[in-house]
Amino acid sequence: MAPGSAADKAGLKREDKILAIDGKAVRNYAQVMHRVGGKYEGDEVSLKLLREKKEITLEKVVLGSAEEVFPTAFMGILPIRDDPDAGVEVRYVYPKGPADAVGIKAGDRIMKMSSPFLPPNSPLQPITLGRDQLAATVEVCRPGQEVKVEVKRKGGKVDTLALKLAAVPDKVPEKLPENASARKALTKPGAPPKKGDKKEDKEEKKPETGGPFQRKTPAEDNSYWVYVPDDYNPNIAYSALVWLHPMGKNKEKDFQDFAGSWQTYCDDNNIILICPKSDSPRGWTRDQATFVQEAVRSVSATYTVDQKRVVAHGMGNGGEMAYYLGFQMRAQFRGVATVGAHLSSAPRERVTNQPLSFFLAVGNKDLEAPAVRETKEKLEQFKYPVIFREINNMGHEYLDGRAGTATLEELVRWIDSLDRI
Same domain for 29 and 99? no
DSSP H or E stretch at residue 6: helix 6-10
Give the pLDDT score at 3. Answer: 46
One domain for residues 27 and 96: no
Instruction: Tell which of 64, 84, 102 closes a domain.
Output: 64
CA distances from 136 to 84, 212, 284, 387 (A): 17, 35, 33, 22
Give the pTM.
Answer: 0.82
Would you say residue 79 lies in a domain?
yes
* Secondary structure in 3-state letters for 82-129: CCCCCCEEEEEECCCCHHHHCCCCCCCEEEEECCCCCCCCCCCEECCC
pLDDT at residue number 397? 92
- Alpha-carbon gap, residue 87 to 150, rounded angstroms: 10
Q: Nearest to residue 58, comparing CAs of 110, 112, 9?
A: 9
Listed residues 137, 167, 197: the one ending a domain = 167
Instruction: Tell whether 366 and 266 lie within a shared domain.
Output: yes
Q: What is the pLDDT of residue 196?
A: 53
Q: Do both 218 and 142 map to the same domain?
A: no
Q: Are residues 269 and 391 in the same domain?
A: yes
Domain co-membership, 59 together with 160: no
pLDDT of residue 401: 58
Pairing status of strand 305-315 against strand 357-363: unpaired
Low-confidence ranges of the chain (pLDDT < 70): 1-5, 8, 65-69, 192-204, 401-404
Cβ atoms 22, 35 nearer than 8 A: yes
Task: Say what the pLDDT of residue 170 is.
Answer: 92
Q: Which domain holds residue 24?
A: 6-64
Residue 317, pLDDT score:
96
